[in-house]
Structure 1
Amino acid sequence: MRQLNPVSPKFIGVQLIGSAIVWAIFVLILLVAAICGLIFDITWLMVLGFALAAGCIILAVIEAIIVVRQVKALGYLEREHDLLVQRGIMFRSTTVVPYGRLQYVEVSAGPLLRMAGLATITLHTASAATDASLPGLPRPEAEALRDSIASRGGARLAGL
C-alpha cells in the first residue's frame, strides 16, 4: 500500500490553541472560586479550587501530548476507486469513501483554521456510515482534493 498523505503540521498548533482556550476557561473559573475561598475564609473552597485547577493543568498537558500524536496519525490516500481516511493512535479507524457514492464534498474552516491557512474537507455520501471528514489540510490542497474527488465522483456516477 502507498504511503498516506499527512495533514499539515500547522494543525497541531491549531488543535493545541483550541484546547488551551477551553482549559484556560476551566482553570480561570476554578481559580476565581479558590480566590473567593481565600478572601471569604472558606478553606474547603480554596483548597478544592486550587486542587481542581492543578488537576485541569495536568489534564491539559496530557491532552496536548495526545493531540500531537493524534494529528501525526491522521492521513488520507487517494486511490483509483475511493478515498481512504485514517486516524487514531490507540483505536485506529480507517474510513473508505467510494467515489461513486459521493453526494457532495465540502471545504470549510473555522477561525483558528483560517488563521493558519488550513481547512477541513468533508465528504458526504449516500450512506452516513461512509461520510468522512479530514481536518488540517492546507486550504489550496483541500480545494484541489475537493475538485479531484468531485470530478472522480461525477465520472463514477456517469458510468451508472
Structure 2
Amino acid sequence: MSETTPSPQSPGPESTRTDPVLDAGTYTAIREPRGAGRLALDGAWHQISPKYVVSQTVQNAVFVAVVAIAAVVAWRVLDHWWPWIPGGIMILITVITQLVLPRQARALGYMLRADDLVFRKGILWQRMIAVPYGRMQLIDITHGPMDRAFGIAKLKMVTAAATTGVEIPGLGREASEALRDTLIEVAETRRTGL
C-alpha cells in the first residue's frame, strides 16, 4: 500500500503512530470514559474534523431562525401566543444539543484493527461497535450542501446485521475517500460466507 493510503493496524507498539491522511485536520485527543469500567483497546484512535461542529452549528442556527420566524408569523396571523410553546420547546432542545455538540464530537472516533473497524461515540450513553472487515457489504460516502461547503463527508458502512451499521460523520474528504478505498480493499480479501 502507498504511504497516503491507511491500512488496518495490528495491535502492538507501532499502532500508536498517526496516519497523515486520516489524522489531517482532526481533533488531537479522543475523549474517553474515565473509570475502571472502560474498555481499553490496542490501537490508534482516529477522530473527526472540528469542521463538523461548525457545520452542525450553522445548521442549528438556520433551524432556530426558521422556527423563530414561523412562531412569529403564526403569532401575528393567528393573534394567539400558543405558537411560542412548540417553537420555544424546539429552540430549547436545539440550543441544549448545540451546547453538548463540541464535547460529543471529541468523543467520536474509529480504530482500524487487524480484523475489524471499531467505532465509538457518546459521552453519557457510550456505544462501541466492531465491524468485521469481511462482513461489510456497502461503503457509502455522503455529503450534503453544508458538508460540501465545509469540506467534510459522512462515511457509512452497511453490514448484513442492521445493528452493526456504522456512520462516521465529519471526516475530511481525503480521509473519507482513503478510508473507503482501504475498507473496500481489505473487505475483498476477508470476505466470509453468510
Relative to the length of structure 2, the TM-score reads 0.70
Alignment of 1:18-29 (within 5 A): 18-29=59-70
Q: Percent identity?
A: 32
Q: From 35, 50, 65, give the equivalent of 1:9.
A: 50
Q: From 106, 111, 132, give the equivalent of 2:140.
A: 106
8 A Cα contact 1:105 1:122, kept in partner: yes
Distance (whole Å) between structure 1 residues aligned to residue 103 and residue 126 of structure 2: 12
Q: Establish whether residue 149 from structure 1 lines up as the match of residue 183 from structure 2.
A: yes
Q: Establish whether residue 88 from structure 1 lines up as the match of residue 129 from structure 2.
A: no
Matched AA of 1:137: L
Distance (whole Å) between structure 1 residues aligned to residue 67 and residue 89 of structure 2: 11
Distance (whole Å) between structure 2 residues aligned to residue 57 and residue 108 of structure 1: 27
How many residues are treated as equivalent by the alignment?
152
Write 1 or 2 for the structure with the bigger share of strand: 1
Is the alpha carbon distance of 1:153 and 1:55 closer, same or farther for their aligned partners in structure 2, counting shifts above 3 Å?
A: closer
TM-superposition CA deviations, 1:102-126 (whole Å, max 9, x none): 1121112111111111111111112
Distance (whole Å) between structure 2 residues aligned to residue 36 and residue 158 of structure 1: 61
Distance (whole Å) between structure 1 residues aligned to residue 52 and residue 98 of structure 2: 12
The worse-fitting range, judged by mean Cα deviation, of 49-58 and 6-15 is 49-58
Matched AA of 1:10: K
Bigger RCO (CA 8 Å, 6+ sep)? 2
Larger radius of gyration: 1
Distance (whole Å) between structure 2 residues aligned to residue 147 and residue 30 of structure 1: 46
Distance (whole Å) between structure 1 residues aligned to residue 163 and residue 85 of structure 2: 42
Distance (whole Å) between structure 1 residues aligned to residue 126 and residue 192 of structure 2: 34
Distance (whole Å) between structure 2 residues aligned to residue 154 and residue 69 of structure 1: 36
Matched AA of 2:50: P
Q: From 63, 74, 91, give the equivalent of 1:33.
A: 74
8 A Cα contact 1:27 1:56, kept in partner: no
Write 1 or 2 for the structure with the bigger share of helix: 1
Matched AA of 1:155: T
Displacement of 1:58 in angstroms is 3.8
Distance (whole Å) between structure 1 residues aligned to residue 84 and residue 136 of structure 2: 51
Give unmatched runs, 5+ long, in structure 2.
1-40
Relative to the length of structure 1, the TM-score reads 0.84
Displacement of 1:56 in angstroms is 4.6
Give unmatched runs, 5+ long, in structure 1.
none
Distance (whole Å) between structure 2 residues aligned to residue 26 and residue 86 of structure 1: 32
